[in-house]
Amino acid sequence: MEKVTVLGAGSWGTALATVLADNGHDTLIWSHREDQATEIHEHHTNAKYLKDVTLPANLHATANMAQAIEHASIVVMAVPTKGIRETCQKMMQTLDKPVLFVHVSKGIEPGSLLRISEIMREELPASVIEDLVVLSGPSHAEEVVKQHPTTVAASCESLVAAERVQDLFMNQYFRVYTNPDVIGVEVGGALKNVIALAAGAVDGIGYGDNAKAALITRGLAEISRLGVKMGAKPLTFMGLTGMGDLIVTCTSVHSRNYRAGFMLGEGKKLEQVLDEMGMVVEGVRTAKAAHQLAEKYDVALPISAALYSVLFEDKTPLDAVDDLMLRMKKREMDEIYNN
Ligand SMILES: NC(=O)C1=CN([C@@H]2O[C@H](COP(=O)(O)OP(=O)(O)OC[C@H]3O[C@@H](n4cnc5c(N)ncnc54)[C@H](O)[C@@H]3O)[C@@H](O)[C@H]2O)C=CC1
Ligand SMILES: O=C(CO)COP(=O)(O)O
């Protein structure tokens, strides 16, 4: 049995804490909100994020970071990308021992263009990082808490650390593979949210399955093209954290990115969409990062660029699709890895 603290009590932090508690680990979840910690600890619910779910009785919660850190030999970082730096800084007020970190967030920081593991290594001294493993893949919280079969990958250069995380989470309904390609896993997880916003938008416009299949396929091409330039292995994008997560996010009603995109396609403005969602829509910030990454690495990311113009340049989704369809002629395969 391991002593695990999950930082972040939204849908994903709570669902993963449930898996850990189901596996018999001594699991504590930390929320930055006192009311939410109390709800989880005393009532075994987290109603805003996981409706009609009763959490395991052996899952505990706190809003006290010092207590959360004191508890842990393993820390799971499950806050949205925007909160990663702040949470690391809060943690460092008390953390003075090495722990194994697992992060499960999917984003790239605009401006710095850092992946989550890079942000964490920037904020945390090496002396407190025993190892840092990424856990990612096609995994909606709403299905995990129902114990529906789910597969993900634990990614770290150290196979020993990746296997420890594999053992920590793995059970009958939650299957974990290992993958040493941290860059590919993080880039795939972050960029699929941008494509999912676009997939939601084409459905919101009222277009059909042909358009969505095109977005998924060409979306994977542009994610791979960028990822390879950033140092990822091409094959990773064919796996769970690439194609797998892209499929689930572009096609599931559970996806906040897909649902936000759908509303954009219906003609709603971004601000209104984000208000209505009330949960994190990671693809919006990552679309900004993608825009900057395209320039930095000199890679064409046409779907991400079209989405960016809808989100931040007031282009209508219909016009953005027209622009994509009328781009200059291309060969399908030559450009995937050679731009
Ligand atoms: N929901 C899902 O099924 C999955 C989510 N993820 C990723 O997990 C990460 C977290 O997402 P969710 O839990 O789904 O989001 P959510 O919107 O359901 O919950 C976010 C939680 O983080 C808290 N929070 C916001 N800012 C914070 C900060 N600065 N410091 C501490 N806590 C803060 C909120 O109060 C809330 O409890 C995201 O990067 C997401 O892409 C990954 C796989 C599946
Ligand atoms: O990453 C996810 C599923 O693997 C969750 O996606 P959303 O953030 O779009 O809900």
Architecture of domain 183-338 in CATH? Orthogonal Bundle (1.10)
DSSP string, 95-161: --S-EEEEE----B-TTT--BHHHHHHHHS-GGGEEEEEEEESS--HHHHTTT--EEEEEE-S-HHH
Q: Tell me the C-alpha distance between 219 and 223, whole Å.
A: 6
pLDDT in tens, 25-75: 999 999 999 999 999 999 999 999 999 999 999 999 999 999 999 999 999
Q: What is the DSSP letter of 39?
A: I
What stretch of H or E contains 316? none
Residue 301 alpha carbon to ligand 1 centre in Å: 26
98 by Cβ neighbours in 10 Å (0-12 / 13-18 / 19+) ranks as middle
pLDDT at position 338, please? 53
Contact yes or no for 103/134 (Cβ under 8 A): yes
**Spatial CA neighbour of 107 closest among 88, 82, 138:** 82
Question: ∠313-248-163 over CA atoms, to 5°?
Answer: 115
Residue 252 alpha carbon to ligand 2 centre in Å: 9
Domain 3-180 has what CATH class?
A: alpha beta
What are the residues whose beta carbons fall under 8 Å from the beta carbon of 118, sequence distance 6 or more?
none
pLDDT at position 334, please? 66
List the residue whose alpha carbon is closest to atom 39 of ligand 1: 105
Token pair of 130, please? 């025993």
pLDDT in tens, 167-210: 999 999 999 999 999 999 999 999 999 999 999 999 999 999 99
Atom of ligand 1 nearest to the CA of 142: 3
Q: Tell me the C-alpha distance between 1 and 17, whole Å.
A: 14
Pick out the chain residues at pLDDT < 50: 339
* Ligand of minimum distance to the alpha carbon of 104: 1
Judge whether 3-180 and 183-338 match in fold: no
Establish whether 90 is a catalytic residue: no
Token pair of 86, please? 């702040």
What stretch of H or E contains 1? none
193: Cα separation from own chain's centroid: 8
Token pair of 79, please? 């806050």
Whole-prediction pTM:
0.97
How do the domains of the chain map onto residue ranges? 3-180, 183-338
Q: Tell me the C-alpha distance between 20 and 28, whole Å.
A: 10
ipTM: 0.99
What stretch of H or E contains 183? helix 182-205
* Ligand of minimum distance to the alpha carbon of 261: 2
Kind of pairing between the strands at 129-136 and 26-30:
unpaired
Q: Which residues does the annotation place in the binding site? A: 11-12, 32-33, 49, 106, 137, 139, 141, 192, 245, 255-257, 280, 282
Taking the CA atoms of 12, 15, 17 and 19 in sequence, report the sign of the dihedral they define: negative
Q: Tell me the C-alpha distance between 4 and 17, whole Å.
A: 9
Other C-beta atoms closer than 10 Å to the C-beta of 85 total 17
